[in-house]
Structure 1
């Protein structure tokens, strides 16, 4: 590995002069800085981040802690945040937890040891107490999910209203029995979406028994497949289904295609999120569109401002983005049961 000493020997300069030139120190002439940078580039020199941090240099790294990068919801967020960070001179480092609090803790320990400038986190349902302590020592903001122990800076979606909109649309079309496939209620997003589903049922004067609920891992495509199989195999199968996550939507759509269920004549479906393929799946999927790019951009810019201005207070801040119902062809009023034909004279 090339060091500042190697550069100093090549240019016949002191190691301290090379170090100051690379740090853009005002005491070093522009000519010397140019020579040092040119030599560093030619020799393949890479700055030692740990050494810089020990000398008191500020970090330019921000950690992003998310459950699952395979979920396009999170990969889109990571992409937008990375672009925003780069534009501000920061670098984004990705950590994946698989919604495991101990994996989350391990990643936060590593990020803390690396003295990151800040952290953007989609927390697990029950963050470890040590995770809470580690985050208190670094500027951070919660994204999508909000846990009270991690502070009150949060960017998220109006999950309650998103599912209320989706379910109310099915209620208005006259569906007497509606299924819901969503994430567990122990997650704040899962709890709010379930409340929104139930609120739409009661608002449409439907009893709680009119809702068939299947809860499980929100990032599991397989849970979506299994859940819709159980719902359709039951004695009182729903005539419509509302879905509570992108991955669950993918699983349900795959299984409906495999089972050759006719949408919407046999079953109406409202998805969650708007993947590129949703517009041409079957008759086109009616779904809840989410302002992912806008939310990620707002979150990134807010954290950048906090890191660069270093405010004295840690006052609460919340930004809630609305979802929007995108109407396509996967929903319709329930099919009316055929009446038995009457023979003449009977």
Structure 2
């Protein structure tokens, strides 16, 4: 209930509590530079104290901007993307913005969600894009400040924050080669994704750098978020007469699937295989065999991306070309850090 028993608190009631004009309240809440910082603070404190909920459409008609930032992810079922969302949410909240996220794993869903975010007049969008966004998606995104995260698609924002995917897989494969392994299998995402192409290139680069016969390498490529693919790919490695002594994966979901598949495999050599798994998930701690995780600074990456976008929203600067790249590190299980 409002201070006069009217249900919803109005801007007029906020203004009366401070002895200022209603227009001053509206401008203060819209961060109008004509209103002093002290008055803006007093208005916000009064609005919060009284429980005033601003009329967002009316605010935008007055020329104010939305305080919403959209985050578009292909998946939320693992801590990789969950950590991204959590870190970005904290970053936005600290700057006075609110993060809203959607899950879009196909160009069709992606287009629909981008359209809905646009109708909500979000201030900006952080997107992990599908491999081939529809023309509608590309056109709508040109109207909003947006940044690509992890994946990079030509024709979208030139600003991108991600992992050095090629180096991650090169270093992980080199680790196995240094340990004496030669027959190594890579189970990763297909090359339709920029991340999948770069990780495959890193795997092959390690063989080339070591001067090893490429025929020793085994490659299994498929949907990176499909656990069934990971399980079937791992099982298939031990059906022939020349199984690998080591496996490296190129996606968090595939790492978990491979571990599960090997745990249930009764074929010779399956339980002794060395694994370098993409991602450092708490759920991997049950594995008793040789496991090295490719751990990525996801929180730091998300915070850097969020801070970079928010700075441009606050200053009105255009989204220029930018590449923020984070490096991974190898962590042995059981965890020792």
Residue 89 of structure 2 corresponds to 82
Q: 1:59 aligns with which of 63, 66, 79?
A: 66
Q: Distance in 1 between matches of 2:44 and 2:165?
A: 54
Partner of 1:341: none
Highest CA radius of gyration, 1 or 2?
1
Q: Which residue of 1 aligns with 2:272?
A: 266
For the pair 1:218 / 2:227, whether they are aligned, the reply is: no
CA–CA distance in structure 2, aligned partners of residues 292 and 76 of structure 1: 7
The answer as to 2:306 corresponding to 1:300 is: yes
C-alpha separation between the residues in 2 aligned to 1:17 and 1:233?
78
TM-score when scaled to structure 1?
0.83
Partner of 2:282: 276
Secondary structure of 1:249's partner?
helix
In structure 2, what is the equivalent of residue 177 of structure 1? 183
Secondary structure (helix, strand or coil) at the match of 1:219 reads coil
TM-score, normalising length: structure 2:
0.85
Report the equivalent of 1:106: 112
2:326 corresponding residue in structure 1: 321
Query: Which residue in 1 is equivalent to 2:25?
Result: 21
- Equivalent residue of 1:148, what SS? coil
Q: CA RMSD in A?
A: 3.1
Bigger mean CA deviation after superposition, 301-310 or 319-328 = 319-328
Among 233, 236, 255, the residue aligned to 1:230: 236
Report the CA distance between 1:264 and its aligned residue: 8.4
Aligned residues of 2:263 and 2:271 also touching (Cα < 8 A): no
TM-superposition CA deviations, 1:225-244 (whole Å, max 9, x none): 11101122233221110000
Deviation of 1:283 (Å): 3.9
The equivalent residue for 2:215 is 209
The structure-2 alpha-carbon separation of the partners of 1:6 and 1:23, relative to structure 1 and needing over 3 Å to count, comes to closer
Q: In 2 relative to 1, CA 262–83 (structure 1 residues): closer, same or farther, beyond 3 Å?
A: farther
> What is the CA–CA distance in structure 2 between the aligned matches of 1:147 and 1:39, rounded to whole Å?
42
Partner of 1:337: none
Question: What secondary structure, in the 3-state scheme, does the structure 2 residue paired with 1:282 have?
Answer: coil
Deviations 1:38-62 (A, max 9, x none): 69865x5422222211221111110
Which deviations, in whole Å up to 9, do the C-alpha atoms of 1:108-134 show, x marking residues without a partner? 101111111111011100111111111
Q: In structure 2, what is the equivalent of residue 257 of structure 1?
A: 263
Number of aligned positions between the proteins? 323
- Alpha-carbon contact 2:187-2:254 (below 8 Å) kept: yes
By how many angstroms is 1:218 displaced? Answer: 1.1
In structure 2, the CA distance between the partners of 1:79 and 1:12, relative to structure 1 (3 Å rule), is closer
- 1:126 and 2:126 correspond: no
Partner of residue 4, structure 2: none
Deviation at 1:69, TM superposition (A): 1.0
What CA deviation, in whole Å up to 9, does each residue of 1:239-277 have, x standing for no partner? 110000111101111111222679886211110111123
Q: Residues 172 and 35 of structure 1: is their aligned pair in 2 closer, same or farther, counting only changes over 3 Å?
A: closer
Unaligned runs of 5+ in 1: 331-346
1:285 is aligned to 2:324: no
Change (3 A) 1:2 1:284: farther
Unaligned 5+ runs, structure 2: 1-6
Q: Secondary structure at the match of 1:233?
A: coil
The alpha-carbon deviation at position 142 of structure 1 amounts to 0.6
Question: How has the CA–CA distance of structure 1 residues 261 and 253 changed in structure 2, closer, same or farther, with 3 Å as cutoff?
Answer: farther
Question: Is residue 11–residue 25 contact of structure 2 (8 Å, CA) maintained in 1?
Answer: no
Quote how far apart the aligned CAs of 1:285 are. 2.4
Of 207-216 and 58-67, the range deviating more from structure 2:
207-216
SS in 1 for 2:141: helix
